[in-house]
Structure 1
Amino acid sequence: MRKLAPFVFVAVLSACARPSDGPTAGGFYSATDPRTNERIPVVRLADAPMNPVGITPLAYSATDPGLSVLRSGGFADNRLRRGDVIEVTILDTGEEGLFSSTDSKTLNLGRFTVDSAGTVTLPFVGRQRVLESSPEALQARIVSGLKGSAVNPQAVVTVVEKPTSGFTVNGDVRSAGRFPLTARRERVLDAIALAGGASSGPSAANVTLIRGKQRASAPLSRVLSDDRQNVYLLPDDQLFIEDDSPSFTAFGAFKSVGEFEFEAGKLTLMQAFSRAGGLLDDRADASNFYVLRNQPVYSQVAAATAGKNPGTPFVTTKPAIYRVDLKDVSNLALMQQFKMMDGDILYASNSGLVDFAKLFTIYQKSVPTAAAPLPGSGGN
């Protein structure tokens, strides 16, 4: 009877405080929602929603204007300023004019930069003050300066660069930097292209436009699909591209634990299970593998009335636990259909024998004894 006493004591301890690196399989069945204190049901994978409809990781409210709140007519101020680069082309349609001895009636004078004094020096017409002038006004002055050497002169002045009227692109792009606004009137997608494109996919990238004290954001996928989001840029606009890739976390008796990013709507539970390396053969309980999720709840009624009640949430979440029994072959097929969502947690519990072995190892250790006295220390 005395030989059985230590084992009974171990069994009692293992039932209430046995060592483990996470919750036991039984602990999931007593889990409660910390907000409502209601019991969280543990649902078999066969009864779980394989692909929730109408929910995306970057879902936005039907009343959210996104970038369209900063829409404008684009940069239309073409007045010349210091540092601007212009290109000048002159034409002469007369028979006895400036180009009478040449095959072409057109001459490209080249590109010129407005200097710190606000002037440019042009062939045939000399030094011209152009600060705050329009290209059309400079064209008229060039034509006036060519009279006498050209019969019917014409001039075309094109603004090539306006460094003082630029925008910046930062964040998750391949070539962040400052770029000039041109007569083409760049838009958000033009800016992202100039920066080399977003490093992450459209479904994972979020675009924020900062204009003075104003700020607006929208998923890149929305900017691509909705032309109203692809707004024109103004001088000193700042674009920030953020990688908002969904991810899941795996811990417990997996060969590889940690956080893993994935592309929204593309990853199945089987693929996520493989990324985590599968279960540890010597630790895991193959019949108790769990997916923990804040399950989105989509309200069609709230979405339909969102226009009348701005701010009404039509996407809420509810905690859910799905149990996967890998010993049941049918679960392998279901894992290939079950789609992962952002924030999902995969947990593989230890086998009961593993936790028992840990506890048994603790009680198997001998109790430390007092050290023997050193020779000559006076001990008897």
Structure 2
Amino acid sequence: MRKLAPFVFIALLSACARPSDGPSAGAFYNTVDPNTKERVPVVRLADAPMAPPVAQPLSYAPTDQGLSVMRSGGYADNRLRRGDVIEVTILDTGEEGMFSSTQAKTLNLGRFTVDSAGTVTMPFIGRQRVLESSPEALQSRIVSGLKGSAVNPQAVVTIVDKPTSGFVVNGDVRAAGRFPLTARRERVLDAIALAGGASSAPTAANVTLIRGNKRASAPIERVMNDNNQNVYLLPDDQIYVGKDSTTFTAFGAFKSVGEFEFEPGKLTLAQAFGRAGGLLDDRANASQVYLLRNQTVYKPYPTASDAKTPSTYSVSNKPAVYRIDMKDIANLALMQRFQMAKGDMLYAANAGMVDFAKLFTIYQKSAPSAAAPLPGSN
């Protein structure tokens, strides 16, 4: 009886707190939703939905205005500022004008930058103060300055660059930088296109618009589908494109644990196991592998005019647990059809003897020996 006492003691300890790197297989059957306090059922893979949940097109709460809070009429001010670059072209249709000795009837005077004093110096016209002038007003002044040397002069002033009225695009784009606002009145999607486009898919990217001390964000997919989100830009706006990665995680007795990225709709459960390197032969309980998912639940908000027609949806999560029995050949076939969803978590439980062996190893460890004395010490 005395010989069995140590083993009885170990068995009692293992029942109380055995060493493990995660929950046991039985713990999944006692899972409770922390919000509703309801039991979360463990569903066999054969009864699980093979396709990932499909998001509703209007899955935004009424209070989520996205980028629409930044709506404006756009930038239409073409007055000249310091640092602006203009291009001046002169036309003369008269027979005895300043171009009468040449075949051409136009002369490109070149490009000129508005200096710190707000002036530009042009051939034939001289120094002109152009600060706060419009291109049309400057054209009239150039024509007036050419009256003595041209019969029927005309002028065209084009704004080539307005550094003071640009916007910046950064983040997950192919060509980040600063871009000028033009008379086209650029919008958010125009800015992203000028930056070479987002590096990730629209379903996996968010755009944030920063204007002064205000900011607003929305998925690029929402901006593409809702014209109210594609707002006009103003000078000094900053646009940041962020990547909203679609990932799943693997824990427990997998050969490779961690977070793995994937493209939505293109990763099966079998491929996810391959990403994680498969199960550890000496640790995993192949019949007790679980997939945990927060299923998205959409509840419609009825409109004021027609309660039967939902305008937007509230979004909430409902936990679900699916059991994968790798020892069942039918499950291996189902794994090739089951589609992974964003945020899925895979957990492979340890075999029962593995946790017991860990506990037994603790009591087999030898007592630590004293450290060796330092050289030269007594």
Whole-angstrom distance in 1 between the partners of 2:275 and 2:215: 37
Deviation of 1:342 after TM superposition, in Å, equals: 2.5
SS of 2:36's equivalent in the other structure is: coil
SS of 2:203's equivalent in the other structure is: coil
Closer, same or farther: CA 268–303 of 1 in aligned 2, 3 Å: farther
| Range moving further from structure 2, 93-102 or 275-284 | 93-102
Equivalent pair of 1:200/1:243 in contact (CA under 8 Å):
yes
Give 1:277-316 correspondences, 5 Å limit: 277-299=277-299, 302-305=300-303, 314-316=314-316
Deviation of 1:119 after TM superposition, in Å, equals: 0.5
The residue type equivalent to 2:319 in the other structure is P
Q: Which residue of 1 aligns with 2:219?
A: 219
| Range moving further from structure 2, 62-71 or 190-199 | 62-71
Q: Which residue of 2 aligns with 1:19?
A: 19
Aligned residues: 368
Say what the alpha-carbon RMSD is for the aligned residues: 2.7
Whole-angstrom distance in 1 between the partners of 2:340 and 2:80: 55
Equivalent pair of 1:245/1:264 in contact (CA under 8 Å):
no
Q: Which residue of 1 aligns with 2:269?
A: 269
Deviation of 1:265 after TM superposition, in Å, equals: 3.3
Whole-angstrom distance in 2 between the partners of 1:145 and 1:297: 71
Whole-angstrom distance in 2 between the partners of 1:17 and 1:152: 99
SS of 1:203's equivalent in the other structure is: helix
SS of 1:72's equivalent in the other structure is: coil
Q: Which residue of 2 aligns with 1:376?
A: none
Q: Which residue of 2 aligns with 1:341?
A: 341
Consecutive aligned runs of 4 or more in structure 1 exceeding 6 Å deviation? 306-312, 367-370
Whole-angstrom distance in 1 between the partners of 2:53 and 2:369: 65
Whole-angstrom distance in 2 between the partners of 1:122 and 1:271: 68
Q: Which residue of 2 aligns with 1:325?
A: 325
Q: TM-score, normalization: structure 2?
A: 0.88
The superposition leaves residues 220-273 of structure 1 with CA deviations (integer Å, 9 ceiling, x where unpaired) of 122233333222211121212121112221111111111122223332222222
Whole-angstrom distance in 2 between the partners of 1:279 and 1:343: 20
Contiguous gaps of at least 5 residues in structure 2: 371-378
Q: Which residue of 2 aligns with 1:150?
A: 150
Contiguous gaps of at least 5 residues in structure 1: 371-380
Whole-angstrom distance in 2 between the partners of 1:368 and 1:52: 53
The residue type equivalent to 1:230 in the other structure is N
Q: Which residue of 1 aligns with 2:50?
A: 50
Closer, same or farther: CA 307–118 of 1 in aligned 2, 3 Å: farther
The residue type equivalent to 2:294 in the other structure is N
1:205 aligns with 2:222: no
Equivalent pair of 1:203/1:263 in contact (CA under 8 Å):
no
Q: Which residue of 1 aligns with 2:364?
A: 364
Deviation of 1:109 after TM superposition, in Å, equals: 1.3
Whole-angstrom distance in 2 between the partners of 1:286 and 1:113: 73
Equivalent pair of 1:285/1:348 in contact (CA under 8 Å):
yes
The residue type equivalent to 1:346 in the other structure is L
The residue type equivalent to 1:71 in the other structure is R
In percent, how many aligned pairs have the same letter? 77
Equivalent pair of 1:249/1:260 in contact (CA under 8 Å):
yes
Deviation of 1:366 after TM superposition, in Å, equals: 5.4
Equivalent pair of 1:62/1:307 in contact (CA under 8 Å):
no
Deviation of 1:15 after TM superposition, in Å, equals: 3.0
| Range moving further from structure 2, 127-136 or 49-58 | 49-58
The residue type equivalent to 1:252 in the other structure is G
Whole-angstrom distance in 2 between the partners of 1:113 and 1:77: 18
